[in-house]
């Protein structure tokens, strides 16, 4: 995946954001990170995708509430749900789990030599640690809170990846 990206970065970086069904948290994280990278002039050096630990919603667009909060914030949430597949562990440089349950599940499925590619999204939170709450069974206000949380995490993640 060699590319001559902007800002002196010569190698593209591939990121996969993962939640349970790939219709709420991970599509938001994918869209927010992509938007921030593009706004910073570094969109060309990142391959960004999202997936779910389960295929409950495979082929579906993101939850309407996730798309709505994205639209309200100027971020297009366009991903189509899919399940994590075994090839993802090799394909992506960094896999970001939305909560500790996803982290455990991904590490259990991942070949041992690649497990260091899997990190918890909230490692980039302020303060770091904890889970990104699942807004699925909540109202629109929780989607807004999750958007804000992911927005901050993605900003710090982008800064770290551009170092």
**What pTM did the predictor assign?**
0.93
Residue 107 lies in a domain: yes
pLDDT at position 85: 97
pLDDT category at 2 given cuts 50, 70, 90 is very low
pLDDT at position 146: 98
pLDDT at position 9: 46
pLDDT category at 4 given cuts 50, 70, 90 is very low
Residue 102 lies in a domain: yes
pLDDT at position 44: 96
**In sequence order, which residues have a C-beta less than 8 Å from that of residue 147 and are 6 or more positions away?**
28, 32, 69, 70, 73
The pairing of beta strand 118-120 with beta strand 13-19: unpaired
Residue 52 lies in a domain: yes
65: its two tokens: 């509430």
Q: Of 37, 24, 4, 2, which Cα lies nearest the Cα of 15?
A: 37
Say which CATH number the domain at 119 has: 3.40.50.2300
Residues involved in catalysis: 19, 25, 134
Residue 103 lies in a domain: yes
Q: CA–CA separation, 27 vs 13, rounded Å?
A: 18
**In sequence order, which residues have a C-beta less than 8 Å from that of residue 51 and are 6 or more positions away?**
16, 17, 18, 22, 26, 82, 83, 84, 85, 88
Report cis status (omega within 30 of 0) of the bond before 113.
Answer: no
User: Based on the structure, what is the number of domains in the chain?
Assistant: 1
Residue 1 lies in a domain: no
Domain carrying residue 115:
6-162
């Amino acid at each position: 995946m060699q590319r001559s990206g902007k800002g002196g970065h010569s190698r593209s970086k591939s990121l996969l954001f993962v939640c349970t069904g790939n219709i709420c948290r991970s599509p938001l994280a994918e869209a927010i990170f992509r938007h921030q990278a593009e706004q910073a002039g570094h969109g060309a050096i990142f391959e960004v995708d999202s997936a779910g630990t389960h295929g409950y919603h495979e082929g579906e667009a993101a939850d309407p509430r996730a798309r709505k909060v994205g639209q309200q914030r100027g971020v297009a949430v366009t991903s189509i749900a899919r399940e994590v597949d075994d090839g993802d562990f090799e394909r992506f440089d960094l896999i970001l789990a939305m909560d500790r349950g996803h982290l455990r599940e991904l590490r259990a499925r991942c070949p041992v030599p690649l497990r260091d590619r899997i990190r918890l999204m909230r490692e980039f939170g302020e303060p770091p640690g904890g889970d990104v709450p699942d807004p699925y069974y909540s109202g629109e206000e929780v989607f807004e809170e999750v958007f804000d949380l992911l927005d901050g995490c993605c900003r710090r993640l982008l800064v770290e990846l551009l170092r």
